[in-house]
Structure 1
Amino acid sequence: MNLVRSELLKIRTTSTWWWLAIGAFLSIALAFAFNAWVADETLSGEGENLGITGDQATAAAQAANLYTSGQYLGLMFVMLIGILMVTNEFFHQTATTTFLSTPRRTSVILSKLVAASLLGFAFWLVTTVIDLIAGATFLSLNDYGTLLDEWAVQRALLLNLLAYAIWTVLGVGIGTLITNQLGAVITSAVLYLVGTQVVGLLFMLLANVLDNEAVVKWQVIWPAVASTVMVSEGQNDFAPAWWVGALVLIGYAVVSGAVGIMITRRRDVS
């Protein structure tokens, strides 16, 4: 726990997390405004014009979407926190001191993983409270109630928590792979934002070539897509079940944590 507290102290005493928190808040504001518009159109019977039909057009599905607003960019921000927890050691040349004071490198990485998960939980809690207040107000004003008693909504909130925790762990894993801070941040951000779009396009093209729309479902192997899938209620024909996305993300977290520990134990930090 002393190691975990020290990792949290390293983050709290820098301004980085403030900038990331501000970015997360702005992303929530923009995402909620868009999701509220989509929900209003869908629940008023205009969902087909937006391509929203079936289970996706239900009040519960739209409520789950509202209550998880800002997840897409929010996950990127917590991933960056996880990256900075590792790369800061090399950027500020404190890695040697850290490993001399705690020779068991596995303990150091495990403490970073635990601290990252706690930070992910904190980000989830704050963003979810904002979404709950805004979402409940919007739904109540439209005479739908809060819909918080719906299992689909509760599941989306819980899985969103899992997503935040996992993406901070993934960030730690990326930081152990790419110790250069600028390189790690830029590479991960580009892969997250641009790579997700490229993956979606590639699978759409592959589906057309193979004349099999089911191929599109396999884009869930990309972690950013898996995050969206697992909190989405009312899956369409182009998305697998929510639990598939959850399993994919858990797999990434386990592999990332294990690889991070192995690399750090072997790396020369002198």
Structure 2
Amino acid sequence: MPNLIAAEFAKLFSTRLWLWLLLASVGLVALYAGLNIAFADDPDNVTPPLNTPAGQQTLFAVAAGARPLIAVLGAIAITSEFRHKTATATFLATPRRGQVVIAKLVTYAIAGVAYGIACIASVIAISLPWLAAKNIDVTLTGNGIPTTLTGVVAAYAIFALIGVAVGALIRDQVAAAVGLLIYLFVVEPIVTNIPALSSWTPYLPGSAGAALTNITITNQDFLAPWLGALVLIGYSAVLAIAGTRLAVRRDVA
């Protein structure tokens, strides 16, 4: 297994896609943080004030805002094997296909952790000087912020697993990547803002991921962080098991 994981990292770094998606992730969460602070004093703002623990937790929770991009990277990791016809060679080298999928899951979960840390650094670099200029004291070791930052890292790791699993299920690269982006950036945000559906939308993947980071928005309900984590782990486990079983049984060609 260690050799398979090392091989997956070699494949990951063989192109610059990981770098472009990382830069996009860092830039996106920096934008989210900037908008959060810039509009903090707006009367219609739905987030708590930045001088409160809930407001600061919500600010740093935006570091998880690019988790759909790590899901896309995970999906491309496995769909590219089929698109570029390298799956045959990969599975011939490792006849136990399940081990290949598991190695990809481990590799991209680790990559997700790295993405989460980079995005946290981006938000911290934007937020601390700006909040200091507004005379708002922030401590990264209190006010529940460590729990929020841990949730951010966990969300990236789990969404990476979901991406790999979706790629194993769908196999078509464009369909998997575009489907993930449209669902996570467009469909779910629309659905979660429909009041009639509010009883079950907190259990959707994006909402569960947000709950994991202790986010607070006055016009939307979220699960408790621990329950959000369980729901998200449940999604990743079901999809990973289904994707692995399908990869083992399905013809490569």
Task: State the TM-score, normalized to the length of structure 2.
Answer: 0.91
Shift, 1:68, TM fit? 3.1
Is it true that 1:96 corresponds to 2:88 in the alignment? yes
Q: 1:235 to 1:81 in 2, by over 3 A?
A: same
Q: 1:52 to 1:23 in 2, by over 3 A?
A: closer
Deviations 1:49-106 (A, max 9, x none): 42445xx66522222233233422x111100110011001001100010011011111
Distance 1:18 1:57 in 2: 32
Secondary structure at the aligned position of 2:144 is classed as helix
Partner of 2:232: 249
Q: Which structure dedicates a bigger proportion of its chain to helix?
A: 1
> Which among 32, 45, 48 is matched to residue 50 of structure 1?
45
Partner of 1:213: none
Q: Unpaired runs of 5+ in structure 1?
A: 208-215
Shift, 1:198, TM fit? 3.4
Shift, 1:235, TM fit? 6.3
> Which among 218, 230, 238 is matched to residue 212 of structure 2?
230
Shift, 1:228, TM fit? 1.5
Partner of 2:180: 188
Is it true that 1:259 corresponds to 2:226 in the alignment? no
Is it true that 1:12 corresponds to 2:13 in the alignment? yes
Deviations 1:2-21 (A, max 9, x none): 11111111111112112212
Shift, 1:241, TM fit? 2.2
Query: What does 1:111-126 align with in structure 2 at a 5 Å threshold?
Result: 111-126=103-118
Partner of 1:27: 28
Q: 1:50 to 1:67 in 2, by over 3 A?
A: closer
Shift, 1:25, TM fit? 2.5
Q: Is the Cα contact below 8 Å between 2:79 and 2:172 reproduced in 1?
A: yes
| Two-structure CA RMSD over aligned residues (Å) | 2.1
Secondary structure at the aligned position of 1:149 is classed as coil
Distance 2:211 2:110 in 1: 23
Query: What does 1:112-151 align with in structure 2 at a 5 Å threshold?
Result: 112-151=104-143
Number of residue pairs matched by the alignment: 251
Q: Percent identity?
A: 28
Deviations 1:112-145 (A, max 9, x none): 0000101101111111112223222223333333
Q: Which amino acid aligns with 1:245?
A: G
Q: Is the Cα contact below 8 Å between 2:70 and 2:156 reproduced in 1?
A: yes
Query: What does 1:160-171 align with in structure 2 at a 5 Å threshold?
Result: 160-171=152-163
Shift, 1:248, TM fit? 1.2
Distance 2:84 2:113 in 1: 26
Q: 1:118 to 1:51 in 2, by over 3 A?
A: closer
Shift, 1:218, TM fit? 1.9
Q: Which amino acid aligns with 1:262?
A: R
Q: Unpaired runs of 5+ in structure 2?
A: none
Secondary structure at the aligned position of 1:154 is classed as helix
Distance 1:138 1:117 in 2: 32
Distance 2:144 2:216 in 1: 9
Q: Is the Cα contact below 8 Å between 1:79 and 1:169 reproduced in 2?
A: yes
